[in-house]
């Protein structure tokens, strides 16, 4: 496997450690010998064409999918099932449409037995963090796509996970909303310092967001490159460094002959 950076050490301190993970769905090898070590508070993007196993890898970390071979750990403990230490945000919002924004945000903490004062504090804190404090009594169906995705992020954060897993969370949004949410997500990440694993098809999105970009290819799904994104924060999408990094990654895809539908600026 070619890498731009040396892999992190195999440390129990890794927030996420993926060791020789393979996933088979019947005859299909969806992931082949994936090794990846993610340090606490890193922002990682999984980037690659459709079918390269990005969601499968995220689901292994979430505990929804069990590796056929190899193992996945968080802070040295084997991942065997989903848990509140790992929050998930999906492309299609994943909100309960019959609950208001407030009740969606409070859902996880309520299950854990938080009292009504705590629930009020949680709803206030996270609705404010995502700019929805005036929409706490709205239902998801009354919100725009971007607002629904903000609510989904607030709901995931309300459980106070160490790790936030996001599966193409902005893929269904228009370009302007998508850029705003990318900026808001970075502000939240800098405030909350979660370990963040973010799936995307977009090179530009990965370059804007990530500390490390995991370049994957399909058939079978595997990691082709791990790129350290050294562009200083705060980042500027119109800076030369941004374009150069997009081009570097584009060339990695072309080199692998598997560029798929990823393009700088997408
Ligand atoms: N539950 C399943 N049963 C059988 N095959 C599956 C299952 N889930 C995924 N696959 C297959 O595994 C491969 C990897 O799928 P996965 O969804 O992880 O890729 P992806 O990179 O996230 O794709 P996309 O970008 O289109 O969402 C694909 O060929 C897919 O069809």
List, for residues 26-77, the tens digit of each pLDDT value.
999 999 999 999 999 999 999 999 999 999 999 999 999 999 999 999 999 9
Determine contact, residues 158/192, Cβ cutoff 8 Å: no
Asked whether residue 258 carries a pLDDT value surpassing 70, the answer given is: no
> How is residue 201 written in tokens?
């098809």
Asked whether residue 7 carries a pLDDT value surpassing 70, the answer given is: no
What is the value of ipTM here, to two decimals?
0.97
CA distance 83 to 100: 24
CA distance 78 to 63: 10
- The fraction of the chain above a pLDDT of 70, given in percent, is 91
Ligand 1 atom nearest the C-alpha of 52 is 21
CA distance 89 to 148: 11
Kindly give the distance from the C-alpha atom of residue 206 to the centroid of ligand 1, in angstroms, as a whole number.
20
Determine contact, residues 40/15, Cβ cutoff 8 Å: yes
> How is residue 190 written in tokens?
């800098």
Determine contact, residues 91/54, Cβ cutoff 8 Å: no
Establish whether residue 221 lines the binding site of ligand 1, counting it when its CB lies within 6 angstroms of any ligand atom: yes
Asked whether residue 255 carries a pLDDT value surpassing 80, the answer given is: no
> Whole-model pTM above 0.80?
yes
Kindly give the distance from the C-alpha atom of residue 91 to the centroid of ligand 1, in angstroms, as a whole number.
15
Which amino acid residue places its CA nearest to atom 5 of ligand 1? Answer: 25
Q: Candidates 55, 57, 166, 171: which one to mutate for ligand 1, based on the most atoms within 8 Å of Cβ?
A: 55
């Amino acid at each position: 496997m070619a890498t731009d950076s040396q892999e992190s050490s195999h440390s129990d301190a890794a927030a996420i450690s993926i060791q020789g993970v393979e996933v088979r769905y019947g005859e299909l090898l969806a992931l082949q010998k994936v090794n990846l070590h993610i340090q606490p508070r890193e922002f990682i993007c999984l980037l690659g064409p459709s079918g390269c196993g990005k969601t499968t890898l995220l689901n292994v970390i979430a505990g929804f999918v069990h590796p056929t071979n190899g193992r996945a750990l968080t802070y040295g403990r084997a991942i065997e099932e989903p848990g509140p230490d790992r929050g998930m945000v999906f492309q299609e919002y994943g909100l309960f449409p019959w609950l208001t924004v407030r009740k969606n945000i409070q859902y996880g903490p309520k299950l854990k037995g938080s009292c009504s004062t705590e629930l009020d504090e949680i709803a206030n804190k996270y609705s404010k963090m995502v700019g929805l404090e005036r929409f706490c009594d709205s239902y998801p169906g009354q919100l725009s796509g971007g607002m629904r995705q903000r609510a989904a992020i607030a709901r995931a954060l309300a459980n106070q996970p160490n790790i936030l897993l996001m599966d193409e969370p902005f893929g269904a949004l228009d370009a302007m909303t998508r850029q705003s949410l990318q900026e808001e997500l970075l502000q939240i990440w800098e405030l909350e310092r979660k370990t963040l694993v973010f799936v995307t098809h977009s090179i530009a999105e990965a370059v804007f967001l990530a500390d490390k970009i995991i370049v994957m290819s399909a058939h079978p799904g595997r990691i082709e490159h791990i790129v350290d994104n050294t562009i200083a924060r705060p980042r500027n999408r119109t800076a030369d460094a941004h374009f150069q990094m997009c081009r570097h990654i584009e060339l990695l895809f072309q080199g692998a002959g598997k560029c798929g539908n990823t393009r700088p600026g997408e």
